[in-house]
Structure 1
Amino acid sequence: MNLSNPSTFNLQPSTLLIELPTWLGDTIMATPAIENIIKTVNPKKITIVGSYVSTNALKNHPKIDKIFIDNTKKSKNRLFATYKLAKKIGKHDIAISFRSHFFSKLLLFFTGSKKRYIFTPSLLHSFTANLHQVEKYNYFINSIFKTNLPPSDLKLYLPSIKNSLLPSALNLQPLLGINPGATYGSAKRWYSKYFAQVAKHFSNNFKIVIFGGPNEVSIAKEIENFLLQEGVEPINLAGKTSIEELIFYISKLSLFITNDSGPMHIAAAFKIPTVAIFGPTDYSSTSQWKNPKGKVVSLNLECAPCMKRVCPLKHHKCMKDLTPNMVIKTAKELI
């Protein structure tokens, strides 16, 4: 994990560079560790670098001074692009990456930062294998600074949204958000019709809001059409929100039904009552962290968690056999 000279470093550096995880959910799960870094070293300047979604999730953090978006993966010559990005970022007293990719090592090296630390799961002690991802990130930070700080709650700072896509009349109406997408792969996605049936069931008590990224517009439209046929008019925000807007709107929900996804972790940060649907992924390591109002629904099949993007057995029973009634029953426990 330590790619620098292991000599003792100054615990009050002037500058700190943090490379964030690529995915939205992983970035949010890294926030307790990031808060512990800041608490431990109290740097004068903090720079973050990462994907568009990860950097935008944390751009409202009051202690972050500079933000760089890493688009080097799209470059024809990624090595040269990484070098150029590193020179833009510049040298920092301490550089920490929550990624274990080869190009993350190069990025930190090219910045010229003397103290460089890379999250390397294979170098973590074996007992961390069964820990939650939040705990793994936090263990990484404790191992760097020789501290024993526990991971706190997830931490997101609310943006100020001036032109809301939600009508102001909804301020007094309970909102049920549904999130049918999951970036990792189709195996993580519960079925559109199932989501629609759950939304229909609660439509007399909640205004329905559909969430989704640019690649999930068609899924969200299927749900919207089903609800319209049932006489329910939802608000479909799929493909219409920035990351900041997504954070803002999820923070306003009264109830959230979601796949294992980045938005699920946004809801956890704000303690939103949430039903999280897990099929092929491991809820013991990526479920909502410290959300007392969060519940997991899973069939716990023998083939799960397979951690595959597409069902390797071709039957997808972990999601297909997980019925809307199961989710409705769990959601009622949160209302």
Structure 2
Amino acid sequence: MKIKKIFIEIPTWLGDAIMATPAIENIIKTYPNAKITLLGSYVSTQAFANYKNIEKVIVDDTKKKGNRYVNLYKLSKKIGKVDFAISFRRSISSKLLLFFIKAIKKFNYRRLKKNQIHQVIRYNDFVNHVLNLQNEVGDLKLYYKPFKYKKPTLGINPGATYGSAKRWYPEEFAKVAIKLASKYDIVIFGGPSEVDIAGDIEESLKSAGISNYQNLAGKTTVSELIEKIAGLNIFITNDSGPMHIAAAFKVQTYSIFGPTRYKETNQWNNLNEHIITKNLDCAPCMKRVCPLGHHDCMNLIKAEDVLKVINE
């Protein structure tokens, strides 16, 4: 059968969507003449700008108003008939949407192995399994041009959308930035919900007499965020979507992990990544908020730990 039209639902979170890019690249390479309709959250779909073969991008707003199930049915009609539909999500809504879509074949994401492997491999294995392919896993792919900074630049990303347990402390980020300010200009990143955290870091920099910084928290589009991170010389970040942006461009990265499984979600194929974690017995708990109340997996990581790895 000649594949002419493909529907792909990508993960909701930016980081997960980026980790799915090698698998999606392999779909495109396998069916180079097929036209793709892409569905996802506003944030995740922005990562796929300039991708080959993507004919239509739909932002999923079925939760906004009205009956979700009716909205999903209407969305399926908007997508139209396709040769195959594939979703990288496991939610009930995704299964229902694929049920509504007219497609010769339909595939909902599922984990094929119970053992701990990287999420990028999971996504690629899933595509290989359902489409009967043997494509190897490539690099993360974002088709953006890196921003050109005038001077060597350090980016810091104190936020993490999933929950507070994944966030290292603003005062520790600030201490690292202050120590490195003589070597690098500093850019503080963050989404709209992380403006306060970024503001705390900015105040610490001001108090230390540091002026060569920009606070971009809440001020960038997703496209601008990708371009700005891509052009950095060095990046210090929590386990987050921006961490995976940096991975796609092989940026020198210092990734701080606490409650999450770094073997599954650290930067993919970036030899310039350095993982900083305390490997506590209670971690990884995978909770949004520390269930024990002490948050030691992040609390015990200090600025000196990060600076030591950077200096090495």
Give the TM-score, by structure 1 length: 0.90
Partner of 1:296: 275
Structure 2 CA distance for aligned equivalents of residues 58 and 134 of structure 1? 16
Are the aligned partners of 1:277 and 1:297 in contact in 2 as well (CA < 8 Å)? yes
Are the aligned partners of 2:33 and 2:53 in contact in 1 as well (CA < 8 Å)? no
Q: Out of 206-215 and 151-160, give the one that drifted further.
A: 151-160
Are the aligned partners of 1:45 and 1:64 in contact in 2 as well (CA < 8 Å)? yes
Are the aligned partners of 1:95 and 1:113 in contact in 2 as well (CA < 8 Å)? yes
Structure 2 CA distance for aligned equivalents of residues 25 and 125 of structure 1? 21
Partner of 2:158: 180
* Cα deviations by residue, 1:115-164 (Å, 9 ceiling, x for unpaired): 1111022xx143xx311000000100110122221110100000698xxx
Pick the aligned partner of 1:158 from 130, 133, 144.
144
Are the aligned partners of 2:32 and 2:53 in contact in 1 as well (CA < 8 Å)? no
Partner of 2:42: 52
Alignment pair present for 1:265 and 2:251 = no
Deviation at 1:202, TM superposition (A): 0.3
Alignment pair present for 1:307 and 2:286 = yes
Structure 2 CA distance for aligned equivalents of residues 159 and 241 of structure 1? 16
Partner of 1:7: none
Partner of 2:133: 147
Pick the aligned partner of 1:132 from 93, 118, 125.
118
Residue 183 of structure 1: SS of its match in structure 2? coil
Q: CA RMSD in A?
A: 1.3
Letter in structure 2 aligned against 1:136: R
Letter in structure 2 aligned against 1:304: A
Residue 141 of structure 1: SS of its match in structure 2? helix
Equivalent positions of 1:198-213 (< 5 A) are: 198-213=176-191
Partner of 1:65: 55
Deviation at 1:276, TM superposition (A): 0.2
Alignment pair present for 1:82 and 2:72 = yes
Structure 1 CA distance for aligned equivalents of residues 248 and 19 of structure 2? 9
Structure 2 CA distance for aligned equivalents of residues 146 and 63 of structure 1? 21
Structure 2 CA distance for aligned equivalents of residues 67 and 232 of structure 1? 42
Cα gap change, 1:224/1:58 in structure 2, threshold over 3 Å: closer, same or farther?
same
Residue 25 of structure 1: SS of its match in structure 2? helix
Partner of 1:95: 85
Partner of 1:6: none
Give the TM-score, by structure 2 length: 0.97
Letter in structure 1 aligned against 2:140: L
Pick the aligned partner of 2:264 from 285, 301, 305.
285
Structure 2 CA distance for aligned equivalents of residues 304 and 109 of structure 1? 38
Structure 2 CA distance for aligned equivalents of residues 285 and 24 of structure 1? 16
Are the aligned partners of 1:18 and 1:47 in contact in 2 as well (CA < 8 Å)? yes
Pick the aligned partner of 2:21 from 4, 18, 31.
31
Residue 319 of structure 1: SS of its match in structure 2? helix
Structure 2 CA distance for aligned equivalents of residues 21 and 321 of structure 1? 32
Residue 68 of structure 1: SS of its match in structure 2? strand
Please list every run of at least 4 consecutive aligned residues from structure 1 whose deviation after the TM superposition is greater than 3 angstroms. none
Structure 1 CA distance for aligned equivalents of residues 56 and 285 of structure 2? 39
Unaligned runs of 5+ in 2: none
Cα gap change, 1:112/1:159 in structure 2, threshold over 3 Å: closer, same or farther?
farther
Residue 72 of structure 1: SS of its match in structure 2? coil
Structure 2 CA distance for aligned equivalents of residues 225 and 301 of structure 1? 32
Unaligned runs of 5+ in 1: 1-9, 162-169
Deviation at 1:72, TM superposition (A): 1.2
* Cα deviations by residue, 1:91-125 (Å, 9 ceiling, x for unpaired): 1111110001111112122221121111022xx14
Partner of 2:229: 250
Q: Out of 71-80 and 130-139, give the one that drifted further.
A: 71-80
Are the aligned partners of 1:59 and 1:67 in contact in 2 as well (CA < 8 Å)? no
Deviation at 1:63, TM superposition (A): 2.3
Are the aligned partners of 1:274 and 1:331 in contact in 2 as well (CA < 8 Å)? no
Letter in structure 2 aligned against 1:327: V
Question: How many matched pairs?
Answer: 311
Residue 284 of structure 2: SS of its match in structure 1? coil
Q: Out of 24-33 and 110-119, give the one that drifted further.
A: 110-119
Deviation at 1:64, TM superposition (A): 1.2
